[in-house]
Structure 1
Amino acid sequence: MSATARAPFSWRIRVYWEDTDAGGVVYHASYLRFLERARSEWLRAQGIEQARVRAEQGVVFVVYAMDLKFRRPAVLDDELDATVRMVSRRAAALEFAQTLLRVADGSTLVEATVRVACVSADGFRPTPIPRNLLRES
């Protein structure tokens, strides 16, 4: 998959009360959920259902490193675009560049580099990404 040549995948998210602190500003840990949902939907768009991969191939994907830059806050009722772009693939790992953008004004709220490992579902040991997943094009 030549992910670096493609436009980033985008997933629309709305900010709800449950995502915010008492002041109506998105709580910092909520951004992690937004990024995770976008990566999961990116996988689904690739035809990869994580529960099926676990059941049939015995592997799961886990985040092992994340670098976040908080640029601006999101607030209650904001509509966000969570983008996902795979920037590298190794035998048992993927690296993604992700952003959270406010739809109303296009401002970048969060920039993230996320590193994901493929591990065995039973022992959580690194294992090569199955060949039939995320093929290079």
Structure 2
Amino acid sequence: MFSIPIRVYWEDTDAGGVVYHARYVAFLERARSDALRAMGRGQQALQEAGLVFAVHSMRLDFLRPARLDDLLEVTAEVARVGRASVVFSQRILRGGELLLAAEVKVASLRAVDFRPCPIEDSLYQELKSLQDGPDA
């Protein structure tokens, strides 16, 4: 499982100092992008190889609020890999307390025309191996 720390700033909160719901989506995106980058498959490298991942669907379970100045841990773990999609299981925690659980499905698209395409074989195998257990 891959994780990154994220500090909550004013720009992330509503007037009450609670993280605005849409900001969680940005936090999740950062963790997925950084997980791919840690594999040597950053967004730029993927695009140069002719591939982009686009969010197809997501399910978010908001369990507890994050607040101004909280230090969060945002995780990304490969849950399932298809020939043209990847499902990530993601969590946002504060001091080990689960605040949000998410499942995000991304589709594999050709960078030139954004049409669906299979995930290149070496990347597919690498993602499959993460699905089967090892930490990223």
Instruction: Using structure 2 for the length normalisation, give the TM-score.
Output: 0.89
**Structural RMSD (CA):** 1.0
| CA–CA separation in structure 1 for the residues paired with 2:123 and 2:44 | 14
Are 1:76 and 2:68 counterparts? yes
SS of 2:121's equivalent in the other structure is: coil
SS of 2:123's equivalent in the other structure is: coil
Are 1:88 and 2:87 counterparts? no
- Residue 21 of structure 2 corresponds to which residue in structure 1? 28
Are 1:44 and 2:34 counterparts? no
**In structure 2, which of residues 93, 96, 108 is the aligned counterpart of residue 101 of structure 1?**
93
TM-aligned CA deviation for residue 132 of structure 1 = 2.4
Deviation digits for residues 70-126 of structure 1, max 9, x if unmatched? 0000000000000111011010100011000002xx211100000011101121111
| CA–CA separation in structure 2 for the residues paired with 1:130 and 1:12 | 30
SS of 1:82's equivalent in the other structure is: strand
User: Which amino acid in 2 is paired with 1:128?
Assistant: P
Are 1:67 and 2:30 counterparts? no
Are 1:114 and 2:94 counterparts? no
SS of 2:54's equivalent in the other structure is: strand
Instruction: Using structure 1 for the length normalisation, give the TM-score.
Output: 0.89
Unaligned runs of 5+ in 2: 130-136
> Paired residues, what number?
127
| CA–CA separation in structure 1 for the residues paired with 2:32 and 2:16 | 28
Which structure shows the higher helix fraction? Answer: 2
Unaligned runs of 5+ in 1: 1-7
